[in-house]
Amino acid sequence: MWRLFKSQASVCDLPSENSSTASIVGGIVSAIFLSVLTVVRLAGKRAVRNWGLDDLIMAISFVLALTVVGLSIYMSYRGMGRHMWDLQDGQVLEVLETLFIATAIYPVLLALVKISIVLLYLGIFPSKGFQIAAWVVVGFIAVSGLAMDLFAVLTCSPIEYAWNKDIKPGHCISEILPSGMGAAVGVIQDVAVVVLPAIQVRKLQMKKRQKVLVMGLFCLGAFGCLAAVARLVSVTENRRIIDPTWQYASMGAWSGIELVIVYTGACLPLMRGFLGLVWPKKFGPTMQERRTDGQPVDHSGASTRPGLTHEMNQLREPPLSHQPGRNDWDQESSDTIGEAAQTSHDYLSRSA
């Protein structure tokens, strides 16, 4: 197939285009950004409470994210983002095989990040109805993520036919169906993550503006659905894959954007705790005065969650009648993101 494309390109004078350099730069920037977000998440959580199951899942997600980004950079270096006829013999197979590995990891990676977000909700909102709904969403994300992963891996028979079409006999159900279904399922997952905490945040005793800020910060990762929709549109525009190293590049770019947005949404709510560590004069006192003395807290009547630490349980929201009066919700800030981070951190701390 490669030789056929090569000869056609020579006869028809097909164009030579290259977007691989931009992809490599984007991958390096993404790796640095994801690393910073992970430090913010883990350090910020530690400043408020001990690490829990959600943080373990985020740590695993970080390893998988760096793996996917690393594979993306390698693919771009070897020819992804260029036309098949501009590559050397063997490069196409190498790129497509690497793409297959990244595609197998990606659905599980996104599912883990979203599960971490929902587990953070579980540590904040104690009502039984919410706990049940949250675990249902966790189950849905886990099952659908695993299903999309298996579908992506098993689309072709034999599996190697996914990157080597010279194998005979061999066939694929569809070359773009896994990407399309993955994007569609991702949108549904994101909507579930948005809807889940909305009612609980609405019940909080705070100003409407700050409810919006808290809701926006907690659900920032769900805006990854916009990137998922864009990825779905890109898939529909490439219904027939003729030039895979060029056509898959645009879909991969939207996948990278989706990952960064969802990952940001999982880490940013704990930014206030991180700022308290690196800038204690401005952010430290508020954080420190709200920390508990470390003594066990009785949460009788609250639902238990095996696998979560006791400290994570302390992040639950207490009954509104027992919440101490605070005037922190009245603070104004010219920086909307900064105010939202302050508000979400204060709420996490006061529910400890």
Q: Over the chain, what is the mean pLDDT?
A: 74
Number of C-beta neighbours around residue 332 at 10 A: 6
Sequence-distant (6+) residues with CB within 8 A of 120 are: 54, 218, 266, 269
Q: Is pLDDT of 217 > 80?
A: no
What pLDDT is attached to residue 239?
Answer: 65
Which of 107-121, 208-222, 299-313 shows the highest mean pLDDT?
A: 107-121
What's the token pair of residue 334?
């010219």
Q: Over 50: is that where the pLDDT of 298 sits? A: no
Is 139's pLDDT higher than 90? yes
Q: Is the pLDDT of residue 153 over 80?
A: yes
> With contact defined as beta carbons under 8 Å apart, do 224 and 261 qualify?
yes
Confidence of residue 102 (pLDDT cuts 50, 70, 90): very high
Instruction: Give the whole-number percent of the chain exceeding pLDDT 90.
Output: 20
Q: Which carries the bigger pLDDT value, residue 301 or residue 119?
A: 119
- pLDDT of 123 > 60? The answer is yes
- Residue type at position 157: S
Rg, C-alpha atoms of the chain? 23
3-state secondary structure of 242: coil
Q: How many CB atoms lie within 10 A of CB 39?
A: 13
What pLDDT was estimated at residue 186?
Answer: 85
What pLDDT is stored for residue 67 in this prediction?
96
As a whole number of angstroms, the distance between CA 43 and CA 242 comes to: 46
Confidence band of 197 (pLDDT split at 50, 70, 90):
confident
Spatial separation of the C-alpha atoms in residues 71 and 155, rounded to whole Å:
21
- Asked if pLDDT for residue 212 goes beyond 90, the answer is no
Q: Which CATH code of 1.10.287, 1.25.40, 1.20.1070, 1.10.10 fits the domain covering 19-274? A: 1.20.1070
Q: What are phi and psi of 11, to 5 degrees?
A: -75, -45
Between the alpha carbon of residue 102 and those of residues 9, 67, 152, the distances in Å are 29, 8, 10
Rounded to whole angstroms, the Cα distance separating 276 from 333 reads: 17
DSSP for 151-194, written as a single string: HHHSSEESGGGGT-TTSSS-EES-SSHHHHHHHHHHHHHHHHHH
Spell out the domain ranges in the chain: 19-274
Q: What is the value of pTM for the model shown?
A: 0.75
